[in-house]
């Protein structure tokens, strides 16, 4: 339940690269009977702007966080049946589209990472700067918490999590420190974990960066299976696009962006065998890129909204149907 239903989602979150997202999606969102999926609905800022700009648009909003769905639902209620919200993880996009009565879509928007709602609610345990229960689940109704992982995972699993999802060079040292600490007392709060990591970090490293940043990122990704979900969700979203349909994807850390870049690179390649003198229609790329590399937020936006600092935006358009 939402502790205070009077909260205004617009006050809780400033959408990143809003104008650029609107610009990229406008050619498809303005189609007669267009359908766009916001697979990471969050506070509904991007969705609200799309619905306002395109009166004929139907928007499907997905989120695994029930609190976000309730807040965004209130924000988008004025659009009636044009805004259809679905409680699901975004790799469930195909099922959500079908559930809403459609077979194909014209646009899709990904705004990845942890939301402002989750970061700013200390009780969710996402932020290492605030002491809170180590939950980190985006959907608080299911799944293993960060505290449960720390309590049960073997040293090797912890090290692998920190290395793979946090790219943490001290992963082994931190895993050993956690195993030793949990023999003394359960690690149930973010403050406890920060203290353990601080104590295990050489002074020279502590002076360069906060020891908890990468570990907390890694635990969050593990708890929510974020990369596994993304690996399934991006192909499913691209497959669902009509001819001329567009995908806009914003990533906030290198692991996500690499995965997105790799999938798009595969889709914009010709499948013609090497040495074929003429490219046959069936070998032409499915998609074309709409951005040159990854686009960044402007200095002005980064100054106004610090959460825009790490964003990397990529976009593509379907130019050939494969079925």
Cα–chain center distance at 275 = 40
Tell me whether residue 45 is annotated as binding: yes
- Cα gap 216→201, rounded to integer Å: 15
- Phi, psi (rounded to 5 degrees) for 250: -110, 125
Q: Is 140 exposed, middle or buried (0-12, 13-18, 19+ CB in 10 A)?
A: middle
Tell me whether residue 44 is annotated as binding: yes
Tell me whether residue 293 is annotated as binding: no
Tell me whether residue 46 is annotated as binding: yes
Classified as helix, coil or strand, 284 is coil
- With a CB cutoff of 8 Å and minimum separation 6, the contacts of 7 are 71
- Cα gap 237→255, rounded to integer Å: 19
- Cα gap 195→282, rounded to integer Å: 58
Q: Are 149 and 222 in contact (CB under 8 A)?
A: yes
Q: Are 29 and 50 in contact (CB under 8 A)?
A: yes
The enclosing H or E element of 303 equals helix 299-304
Tell me whether residue 207 is annotated as binding: no
Q: Are 237 and 259 in contact (CB under 8 A)?
A: no
Tell me whether residue 141 is annotated as binding: no
How many other β-carbons are positioned within 10 Å of the β-carbon of residue 193?
26
Dihedral (CA of 136, 137, 141, 147) sign: negative
Tell me whether residue 118 is annotated as binding: yes
Closest CA to 312 of 271, 254, 264, 262: 254
How many other β-carbons are positioned within 10 Å of the β-carbon of residue 18?
17
Classified as helix, coil or strand, 60 is strand
Q: Are 265 and 238 in contact (CB under 8 A)?
A: no
- Cα gap 311→296, rounded to integer Å: 6
Annotated binding-site ranges for S-adenosyl-L-methionine: 44-46, 63, 90, 111, 118
């Amino acid at each position: 339940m939402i502790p205070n239903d009077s909260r205004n989602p617009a006050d809780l979150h400033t959408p990143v690269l809003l104008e650029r997202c609107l610009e990229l999606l406008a050619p498809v969102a303005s189609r007669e009977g267009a359908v766009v999926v916001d697979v990471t609905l969050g506070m509904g800022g991007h969705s609200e702007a799309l619905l306002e700009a395109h009166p004929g648009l139907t928007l499907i909003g997905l989120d695994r966080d029930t609190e976000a769905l309730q807040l965004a639902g209130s924000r988008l209620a004025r659009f009636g049946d044009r805004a259809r919200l679905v409680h699901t993880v975004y790799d469930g996009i195909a099922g959500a589209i079908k559930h809403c009565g459609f077979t194909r879509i014209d646009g899709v928007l990904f705004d990845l990472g942890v939301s402002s709602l989750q970061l700013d609610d200390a009780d969710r345990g996402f932020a290492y700067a605030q002491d809170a229960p180590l939950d980190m689940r985006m959907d608080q109704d299911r799944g293993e918490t960060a505290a449960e992982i720390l309590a049960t995972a073997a040293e090797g699993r912890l090290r692998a999590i920190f290395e793979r999802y946090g790219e943490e060079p001290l992963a082994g040292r931190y895993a050993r420190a956690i195993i030793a600490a949990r023999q003394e007392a359960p690690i149930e709060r973010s403050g406890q974990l920060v203290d353990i990591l601080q104590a295990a970090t050489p002074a020279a490293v502590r002076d360069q960066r906060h020891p908890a940043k990468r570990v907390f990122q890694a635990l969050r990704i593990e708890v929510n299976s974020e990369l596994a979900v993304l690996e399934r969700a991006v192909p499913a979203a691209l497959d669902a696009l009509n001819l001329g349909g567009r995908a806009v994807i914003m990533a906030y850390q290198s692991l996500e962006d690499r995965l997105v870049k790799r999938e798009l690179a595969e889709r914009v390649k010709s499948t013609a065998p090497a040495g074929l003198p003429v490219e046959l229609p069936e070998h032409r790329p499915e998609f074309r890129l709409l951005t040159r590399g990854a686009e960044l937020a402007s200095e002005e936006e980064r100054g106004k909204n610090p959460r825009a600092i790490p964003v990397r935006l990529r976009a593509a358009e379907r130019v050939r149907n494969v079925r």
